[in-house]
Chains A and B, each alone.
Chain A
Amino acid sequence: KNEVEQSPQNLTAQEGEFITINCSYSVGISALHWLQQHPGGGIVSLFMLSSGKKKHGRLIATINIQEKHSSLHITASHPRDSAVYICAVNKGAQKLVFGQGTRLTINP
């Protein structure tokens, strides 16, 4: 079993819909990251959080340390949000353990 599990693996939605991607982990962590990978392969860091909730534009990330679970929400989704979203956790100070990613497709 992977230490970081994401669901769903694939998600297709219509423009404007509210999107939720989930991440569960089975190890103790010091921080959790949400990353976005574009079709060309480049990866951008969206959030790093260790408790509570963070918001940036239409993106919201939450984490529940007791339940070892995090969610990434996208409000008013747009075709340009189409990408692979990756959850990763810091097990130690430096190393990241990655989920397999969620491929999101937003249709106009």
Chain B
Amino acid sequence: DGGITQSPKYLFRKEGQNVTLSCEQNLNHDAMYWYRQDPGQGLRLIYYSQIVNDFQKGDIAEGYSVSREKKESFPLTVTSAQKNPTAFYLCASSRQGPNEQFFGPGTRLTVL
């Protein structure tokens, strides 16, 4: 089945540790995105990538890093520099241009 997957669904980490969230898609989409969702707030864009080996900062990139070495993969690293990392993280993909975005099931990160 074509789709977008994120793993794990729940993740717990100690404060000060870096953690990497996985996002994989087999939809052959060029563009991929990482969003953060906090209670009572809309989704906010962390990073996006329009093509392999290229990515741009979104609105809240500080404390996060990404890579796009393969078309189907766009992992997000939450570094220890992120002041408040506990949140729900969603990955999405789309074709180029203003197109429908397909979302993964999300990863709920809790930093203890």
Contacts and interface: CB of A to CB of B under 8 A. Distances in A.
Interface of A: 2, 4, 30-31, 33, 35, 40-45, 48, 50, 86, 88, 90, 93-96, 98-101
B58 A48 contact: no
Interface of B: 31, 33, 40-45, 48, 50, 58, 88, 90, 92, 94, 96-103, 105-106, 108
> Which 6 A-B pairs rank lowest in CB-CB distance, beginning with the nearest?
A98-B42, A90-B98, A43-B103, A31-B98, A41-B106, A30-B98
A7 to B, nearest CB: 14
Nearest to A91: B98
A90 B100 CA distance: 10
A48 B103 CA distance: 14
A67 B101 CA distance: 25
Contacts of A94: 31, 33, 48, 50, 94, 96-98
A45 B101 contact: yes
B39 to A, nearest CB: 11
Contacts of A96: 33, 43, 45, 101
Contact of A93 (B45, B96, B105): B96
